[in-house]
Structure 1
Amino acid sequence: MVITLELPIRHTAKEVVPSDPFRVYEARFGALPIWLEDIAPGAARSLARQALRSGVPLTPADDLS
């Protein structure tokens, strides 16, 4: 007798385009902070990457550093 176990396919964050830090941030932490719209796009992208590297969501103090 052979017993076969089928496991469900687990979807990971690979479905999110890794080159877009905003989409990866939203997938990991939820919505982007509102204040992120008020700063330059390059700086906002850099802050999102920084948050992803450190593993913690952005706070308003991150904009000041």
Structure 2
Amino acid sequence: AAVLNHPANAVAWLANALAQHGEHLEAGEIVLSGSFTRPVACGVGDTFHADYGPLGTISVRFV
């Protein structure tokens, strides 16, 4: 969301930049345009945990 204020804006920018070089996005191509969340500050000793339900969980600890 922080990339050009919206993920779709980043894809539009990419399409325009490619066009300047004679390239284009193809139908069905996957574009990873960024995260829907803003970055979170972390420091030594911080732990983050994500629960993706049936897909599982993941944790990270910063040392």
Structure number with higher relative contact order (C-alpha < 8 Å, ≥ 6 residues apart): 2
Q: Return the TM-score normalized by structure 1.
A: 0.28
The structure where helix makes up a greater share of residues is 1
Higher strand share: 2
Tell me the TM-score normalized by structure 2: 0.28
